[in-house]
Structure 1
Amino acid sequence: MEMIWESIKHAYAFLAVIPIIPFAIILFGYGAFIQDRKKAFRLAMDITTALLIGCVAVLFDYLFSSKFGIYGILLFMLLGGGLLGNAQFRKRGAIDAKKIFRTVWRLSFFTMSVLYIVFMCIGIGKMVLTT
């Protein structure tokens, strides 16, 4: 059982290092399969978000020498969900949790993409300057 868990961790780490590759594979592969580019793009975003969250958390921990990366990301996602839920309740009088989760998840894709690029540039610069 431990060997299976280690294999899953290695596969996740391999895919998370360069998340544009799984994004492109899902976008073009699933898009060719179902012939709906919009649906394929959403699925690629959703799957890549999980990879980006892990990668950005590790980059944050590396750059700032902390262990708060994943907790900070989850905190901001929960805060965003709370703010969106409050706005939705004020506007409609009811909360659609599925819609809020999907919105927070997709906004996280864009946020994590920007943070990934920024942290990678900082990390590469840090490695170049220290050697």
Structure 2
Amino acid sequence: MEWVIGFVKQLYAAAITFPLLSFVVLWLGFYAIYLNKRKAMLLTIDVTCLLLFGAVAEKLISVFSFSFAYYFLLIVSLLLFGWFGNLQYRKRGKVNSKKIISVMLRLGFFVLLGCDLVLGAIQWFL
């Protein structure tokens, strides 16, 4: 059982070290399963966003010695979830959590990808 946990840890470490490579591999896998480019792209963005969450947190820790990076990103995500929920409630009168989560994952993908690239450049120059 320990080798399974070790393998998962190594796989996760490799995935957050190279998130764009993970994006391509995941897209190819989802496209092979669903044979639908749009669905494969959306699922890949959702999964890669979770990988980017870990990658950005680790780069914040290594570049700025920001020890509570995971908690900071989690708090910002929860605040944005509440803000999007408030906007949706004011517009429609009800909250659709599934739609809010999908919007946050897709918007978070682009924001976290930008943060990952900027932090990677800073880390490379230091």
Interval of TM-score (by shorter of Structure 1 and Structure 2): over 0.9
Aligned length: 126
> Residue 3 of structure 1 aligns with which residue?
3
% of aligned pairs identical?
A: 34
Cα displacement (A) at 1:47: 1.2
Q: Which runs of 5+ in 2 are unaligned?
A: none
Q: Could you tell me how far apart the structure 2 residues matched to 1:57 and 1:106 are?
A: 18
Runs of 4+ in structure 1 off by over 6 angstroms are none
Answering whether residue 124 of structure 2 is matched by residue 121 of structure 1, we say no
Alpha-carbon contact 2:59-2:119 (below 8 Å) kept = yes
> Residue 90 of structure 1 aligns with which residue?
90
> Residue 112 of structure 1 aligns with which residue?
112
Q: Give the TM-score normalised by structure 1.
A: 0.89
Give the partner amino acid of 1:124: W
Matched position secondary structure for 2:66: coil
> Residue 73 of structure 2 aligns with which residue?
73
Answering whether residue 83 of structure 2 is matched by residue 103 of structure 1, we say no
Give the partner amino acid of 1:105: L
Q: Give the TM-score normalised by structure 2.
A: 0.93
> Residue 27 of structure 1 aligns with which residue?
27
Cα displacement (A) at 1:34: 2.5
* CA RMSD across the alignment: 1.3
Q: Could you tell me how far apart the structure 1 residues matched to 2:61 and 2:95 are?
A: 34
Q: Could you tell me how far apart the structure 2 residues matched to 1:97 and 1:44 are?
A: 20
Cα displacement (A) at 1:18: 0.7
Q: Could you tell me how far apart the structure 2 residues matched to 1:82 and 1:66 are?
A: 25
